[in-house]
Amino acid sequence: MSRMRNGLLGLSALVVVGVVAVAAVALHKPEPQISDALAQRKPDVTRGAYVAVLGDCVACHTSKDGKPFAGGVPFETPVGTVYSSNITPDKDTGIGTYTFPDFVRLMRFGVTPSGGRVYPAMPYTAYAKVSDEDLQDLFAYMQHGVTAENAPSRKDGMTWPLSMRWPLALWNIAFHDDSRFVPDVPKDTAWNRGAYLVQGLTHCGTCHTPRGIALQEKDVNGTSNLFLSGSVLDGSSPINLRGNIGDGLGRWSVGDIAEVLKTGVNIHSAIAGPMAEVVEHSTQYMSDDDVKAVAIYLKTLPPAPDEGRATFAASDATIKTVLAGKETSPGGRMFMDSCAACHRESGKGETLAFPKLAGNPSVLSADPSSLIAIILNGARLPSTAGAPTGLAMPPFGWRYGDADVAQLASFVRASWGNGASAVTADEVSKVRARVEPSRAKAQPLAASTDRVTAGAGSR
């Protein structure tokens, strides 16, 4: 009995020590190091406004019909809905009482002045790399260049225990690298500027890098070929930004990349979905030098692992079959009926107007969610100074059932030299439930391909 009692006491002691250790980690509030030189530096509000553009702060912190930076934007995550906070200088509901160290602590560690933890839906994992000077200028802009708005934060849609935030302290220990960006000395100024922007302020990895089981980005430093290799996010599939020929940017030039960031379109593709907002609110306003720097950096990224990825080798077999009137597959008939007028029988679209489907990375993505969402819900190009028309594609979710959309998407992913996997009706159903929640269980007006059979081969 004595031995058992001693064992239980020892186990209890270990539990207590463990609880104390976890509590110490959870309650620890990092103290940012502010150098004397930085403390004496005069921040530049105008430059801070540009830093806010680079970080696309307005897109995440401005709700539909809401006031700029007043928060309330919902983000659907695998663990529930998170709402962005008010970052205006309002003293009651915003960041009006923040000091600069408070701001740095939030941006680099995801910790509020009270010691609370924010979900990494706020990309502090990328902002940790931002320079002291950029953070200082950004803080000056948020305090003195933004109108204060009284807008209380919305309660996150998470149930217990996922609603508890203290475990995020442990998540940070396991996954968060809070180190600054370090230039690669052998590389030139433009490359390092591009790397700094992509890894830090523009936080490209937040969407384009795959995540692990704990929802952590598998690489935040650009040290592996998983960085920016494409992902699945909120019913979409952000593309691979690395050098793969099929689903990546291997066939794009530096100019092609810069053009799509400034205008939303280029000869290879067009921007739609969540990225359209990034172009509309952020990248089109970047300086030409910064856009080129980003393009230079992205163009140097070697291909991601090839396993499971699509290929592309331009082929005229599809157009020959179509012109001969021999395209009889259900997907091909639907394409001729609903898509060919804009995207052409050749799949080459219309330059800078209707996106090319042949070799388009969004079409060839390993996960077809973005393509499915566009077919179901339609899409609108961002309106930019370089391409102000904002052309739109109508939705076809009302017209075609899940099996039909799967066949149409499969045709597109396997034609003109595209070599991507087929799409299933189940994949379409899952995307439809996210993008058309009110109609997810409804029967589309045309649930079969019968209506497009007649005349399908006559074009």
Residues in a beta bridge with 382: none
pLDDT computed for residue 441 by the predictor:
43
Q: Indicate the SS3 state at residue 302.
A: coil
C-alpha 333/C-alpha 115 separation (Å) is 59
pLDDT tens per residue across span 389-432 = 778 899 999 999 999 999 999 999 999 999 999 999 999 999 99
Pairing of strands 418-419, 311-312: antiparallel
Q: Kindly state the average pLDDT of the residues 348-364.
A: 92
pLDDT tens per residue across span 196-248 = 999 999 999 999 999 999 989 999 999 999 999 999 887 789 999 999 999 99
pLDDT computed for residue 306 by the predictor:
84
pLDDT tens per residue across span 314-329 = 999 999 999 898 999 9
Q: Kindly state the average pLDDT of the residues 248-277.
A: 94
Token pair of 203 as six digits: 């936080």
Whether the pLDDT of residue 452 is over 60: the answer is: no
Residue 216 DSSP one-character state: -
C-alpha 114/C-alpha 104 separation (Å) is 14
Residues 6+ apart with CB under 8 A from 446: 399, 400, 401, 404
Whether the pLDDT of residue 308 is over 90: the answer is: no
Residue 200 DSSP one-character state: I
Residue 386 DSSP one-character state: S
Whether the pLDDT of residue 368 is over 90: the answer is: yes
Whether the pLDDT of residue 449 is over 90: the answer is: no
Whether the pLDDT of residue 183 is over 50: the answer is: yes
| Better pLDDT: 442 or 190 | 190
Residues 6+ apart with CB under 8 A from 304: 225, 226, 229, 230, 240, 242, 244, 248
pTM summary value: 0.88
pLDDT computed for residue 36 by the predictor:
86
pLDDT computed for residue 101 by the predictor:
95
Q: Kindly state the average pLDDT of the residues 131-152.
A: 97
pLDDT computed for residue 30 by the predictor:
74
pLDDT computed for residue 68 by the predictor:
95
The band of 17, judged by pLDDT with boundaries at 50, 70 and 90, is very low
Q: Which domains does the chain have, with CATH numbers?
A: 34-151+159-175 (no CATH), 189-299 (no CATH), 311-452 (1.10.760.10)
The per-residue pLDDT of the chain, averaged, comes to: 87
Whether the pLDDT of residue 15 is over 50: the answer is: no
pLDDT computed for residue 33 by the predictor:
82
Q: Are 10 and 107 in contact (CB under 8 A)?
A: no
The band of 76, judged by pLDDT with boundaries at 50, 70 and 90, is confident
Give percent of the chain with pLDDT exceeding 70.
88
8-22: burial string, b at 16+ Cβ within 10 Å, e else? eeeeeeeeeeeeeee
Whether the pLDDT of residue 311 is over 80: the answer is: yes
pLDDT computed for residue 19 by the predictor:
39
Helices (H), 36-131: 36-40, 45-54, 57-61, 100-109, 124-127
Rg of the chain over CA atoms, in angstroms?
Answer: 25
Residues 6+ apart with CB under 8 A from 442: none
| Better pLDDT: 76 or 111 | 111
Three-class SS of the chain:
CHHHHHHHHHHHHHHHHHHHHHHHHHHCCCCCCCCHHHHHCCCCHHHHHHHHHHCCHHHHHECCCCCCCCECCEEEECCEEEECCCCCCCCCCCCCCCCHHHHHHHHHHCECCCCCECCCCCCHHHHCCCCHHHHHHHHHHHHHCCCCCCCCCCCCECCCCCCCCCHHHHHHHHHCCCCCCCCCCCCCHHHHHHHHHHHHHCCCHHHHCCECCCCCECCCCCCCCCCCCCCCECCECCCCCCCCCCCCCCCCCHHHHHHHHHHCECCCCECCCHHHHHHHHCHHHCCHHHHHHHHHHHHCCCCCCCCCCCEECCCCHHHHHHHCCCCCCHHHHHHHHHCHHHHCCCCCCECCCECCCCCCHHHHCCCCHHHHHHHHHCEECCCCCCCCCCCEECCCCCCCCHHHHHHHHHHHHCCCCEECCCCCHHHHHHHHHHHCCCCCCCCCCCCCHHHHCCCCCCC
What does the angle CA 257 – CA 349 – CA 404 come to, to the nearest 5 degrees? 110
Whether the pLDDT of residue 288 is over 80: the answer is: yes
Phi/psi at 217 (5° precision): -65, 135
* Weakest mean pLDDT among 3-17, 224-238, 262-276: 3-17
C-alpha 14/C-alpha 19 separation (Å) is 9
C-alpha 231/C-alpha 275 separation (Å) is 13
pLDDT computed for residue 361 by the predictor:
95
